[in-house]
Structure 1
Amino acid sequence: MTASPNDHSLTSALGHAAATAGYAPSVHNTQPWRWRVLPERLELYAVRDRQLGVSDPDGRLMILSCGTALHHARIALRAEGWTTRVDRLPDPATPDLLARITGTGHAAPSPAAMRVVQSVRVRHTDRRPVAEEEVPEESVAEIVRAAGDEGAQLQILSRDQVVELAAAASKAAAASVDEPQLREELRYWTERAGPAGTGLPPEVLPERAPESTVPARDFGRPGSLPVGPGHDRTARYGLLFGNEDEPAGWLRAGEALSAAWLVATGLGVSMVPLSGVIETVGTRETLRRMLSGLGYPYLALRLGIPDPTQAGPGHTPRLPVEQVVDTSAVRPEAS
């Protein structure tokens, strides 16, 4: 999907990077972003029409999702040898303009970035129990480091903290049962009622609730993805957090999530975001206490080795490139 610097202009490379960013993960696969391609830069905008108005009224998860797309675009450009400058939230008068990526020059393609980009189309979310094999400590350390390099921190939880996380997740799940508007929002994004190319089809959702220490989100209906008899006893859990509970922090958290997830994919490690526990104030405060008040939690994560006896889930659908990448300003040159 990315352009070769030997054959294409910077403008075309920016367009290809924006298209590559379309494979980024997002909450409920809402893909709440839009790119505008200009001759020497990309602009990333949040799309409020695809914000979860009930479960994410502040736009925390929407902006975090856009951050994953921002990192995808950055790493795609780096892999092809383009150097860039990123200006985050550059215009207070336009709050939905989340970032500008400006091309600054050309260098040798980055082999490390090329390896990461190879994971973009492979990455997926497998919500089923993991294998009995434990994640190697060196892999955990590499994933943690990838998040830290992008301006957020990933704290791996102790066993006692996992119990606290499980209790918070159970509390959040119980609260959601009593929220009819939340249940309706979930149905919208899981029953193909949302925009074509978005949402969570049955084939990526487990056919029944998996056995798990930390309860997964109840989407309100079963999927069609077969679930084996395993448990998540070998899973590792972590909290992605940062120093501010503001859009700038949420955006950087999305970039850190993308970096960590792509590295995990390359290492053969499954990563599953647990956003339900972040969506209510009470459970979010519980997680902050787990961090000793030293940071603001953005997302809980599960790490594990995929069950080798189960075929991997399919990929979620994607919006057509023309719906998320605006090339009208450069159309004669873009490819």
Structure 2
Amino acid sequence: MTLHVAPAGQLSAEQVTSVLRAATLAPSTHNTQPWLFTSDRDAIELYADPDRVLPVADGDRRELLLSCGAALFNLRIAIRARGVHPDTTLFPRRGDPDLLAVIRPRSAASIDSRSAALARAIPRRHTNRAPFAAKPVPSDLVGLLRHAAETESAWLPRLDEDQLAGLNDLVRESHHVQSADPAFLAEWRRWTGRAPSSRDGVPFTAGGTAAADDTWVLRDFGDRAASAATPFPPLVVVLGSFGDSPADRVRAGQAMQRVLLTATMHGLDASFISQPVEVRATRIRLRHLLGDGLWPQIVLRLGYGEPVAWTPRRALADMLLERPSLSA
């Protein structure tokens, strides 16, 4: 497919291509890459790709919206790093739930050091499903991650020992629920264990290690730090939002990506513990565990890992809508 990208606002066609490529480096469930784009003289539009919904694991499109929110954050930061302000409107057209955002790069903006550093981290961030080392995450860095979430109107609550133990139980329970569902397993197998030549899905080289038992940090990851005798297990955080509407979920995806890029800037790796938020019953119980004030959107495992294989990306031309933009 030929790549046809139009200039948008103060961005040239070449710059639009560059910022769209940055957007496509966002994480997504099973590396589905569920986003589409258009550009015209005034704006860039971000759409959800309905053909890439996971009907079993993500029947309400929550994780699709989180993934697209992460792509939107990359897009915003990449534009800002070029000295242009990304004026962004979420869900601008009532009746079109797939049009998630319109970004109008109209006016010049100063390039602050934080935005530039976040933009540089975009190509370096990747999900690390391999074991993490027995090395603690410094408390001041945890504070920076919390601040990153709050900047995008989300929160990383502090979990006490009882809450972590409860989360452990919910991960185990949700894992068993999904493992007993033939439809879930069939969907999971379609998207994981793919050949390195595949442009989407998770290649077998990036799949992490097999579980040794039901302990949540071991299950799927095999962390060297998972033993009860080891003083420094991986850091586990829950990112939550005060609402759970589609717009709240897109905002939470932006917060997630700011947290992940902040982690990358400081040498941290991250991966997702998706089961307790994918199973509706355990997600509701996790909300209760957090005090009923936040909707849990993402559970992240953070730590210091060895280099792992990168997950692939589709060609940008495959993510561009053929029809003209309607933003003008």
TM over 0.5: yes
Q: Within 5 Å, which residues of 2 pair with 1:1-335?
A: 9-192=11-194, 196-209=198-211, 213-215=215-217, 229-231=224-226, 233-306=232-305, 311-326=306-321
Measured after TM superposition, the shift of residue 131 of structure 1 is 1.6
- Of 126-135 and 16-25, deviating more is 126-135
Deviation at 1:229, TM superposition (A): 4.4
* 1:210 Cα deviation from its structure 2 partner: 5.9
Compared CA separation, residues 141 and 230, structure 1 to 2 (3 A): closer
Q: Contact 2:153 / 2:255 at 8 angstroms: preserved in 1?
A: yes
Structure 1 position 156, deviation (Å): 3.2
Q: Distance in 2 between matches of 1:278 and 1:23?
A: 23
Which amino acid is the alignment partner of residue 100 of structure 1? Answer: V
Counterpart of 1:214, as a letter, is: W
How far, CA to CA, are the matches of 2:297 and 2:224 in structure 1? 31
The residue that corresponds to 1:333 in the other structure is: none
CA–CA separation in structure 2 for the residues paired with 1:271 and 1:181: 28
Deviation at 1:110, TM superposition (A): 2.7
Paired with 2:127 and 2:213, the residues of 1 have a C-alpha distance of 17
**Which amino acid is the alignment partner of residue 47 of structure 1?**
D
Task: Judge conservation of contact 1:211–1:230 (CA < 8 Å) in 2.
Answer: no
The residue identity in structure 2 corresponding to 1:104 is R
Deviations 1:38-67 (A, max 9, x none): 112110000011111111000000011000
**Structure-2 change in CA distance of 1:240 and 1:160 (3 Å):** same
Contact kept? 1:210, 1:231, Cα under 8 Å: no
Distance 1:32 1:217, change over 3 A: farther
Give the CA deviation at 1:112: 1.7
What SS does structure 1 have at the residue aligned with 2:72?
helix
- Cα offset, 1:213, TM superposition: 4.3
Letter in 2 for 1:147: A
In 2, the alpha carbon distance for the partners of 1:160 and 1:303 equals 20
Report the residue type matching 1:81 in the other structure.
G
The question of whether the paired residues in 2 share the 8 Å contact of 1:217 and 1:274 is answered with: no
2: CA distance between counterparts of 1:287 and 1:166? 10
Shift of 1:272: 1.7
- Shift of residue 149, structure 1, vs aligned partner: 0.4
Deviations 1:158-181 (A, max 9, x none): 222111111001000111121101
Deviation at 1:204, TM superposition (A): 0.5
Give the gaps of 5 or more residues in structure 1. 1-7, 219-224, 331-335
Superposition deviation, residue 15 in structure 1:
3.1
**Letter in structure 2 aligned against 1:242:** S
Instruction: Give, as a single letter, the amino acid of the residue that structure 2 aligns with 1:94.
Output: D
Can you list the C-alpha shifts for 1:125-178, whole angstroms capped at 9, x where unaligned?
Answer: 122332221101111110111111012111232222111111001000111121
1:3 aligns to what? none
Cα deviation 1:178-208 (Å, max 9, x = unaligned): 1101000000001439x94111001101242
Q: CA deviation at 1:211?
A: 7.0
Aligned residue pair count: 312
Identity %: 32
Q: CA RMSD in A?
A: 2.4
Q: Which amino acid aligns with 1:158?
A: D
Q: What do residues 50-93 of structure 1 show as CA deviations (whole Å, max 9, x unaligned)?
A: 11111100000001100000000000001110112110011121
Q: Distance in 1 between matches of 2:31 and 2:132?
A: 22
Deviation of 1:217 (Å): 6.3
Instruction: Write the letter of the residue equivalent to 1:24.
Output: A
Counterpart-to-counterpart distance in 1, 2:304 and 2:24: 26
Q: Show structure 2 runs of 5+ residues with no match.
A: 1-9
Distance change (3 Å), C-alpha of 1:115 and 1:210: farther
Instruction: Give the whole-Å Cα distance in 2 for the aligned partners of 1:73 and 1:58.
Output: 24
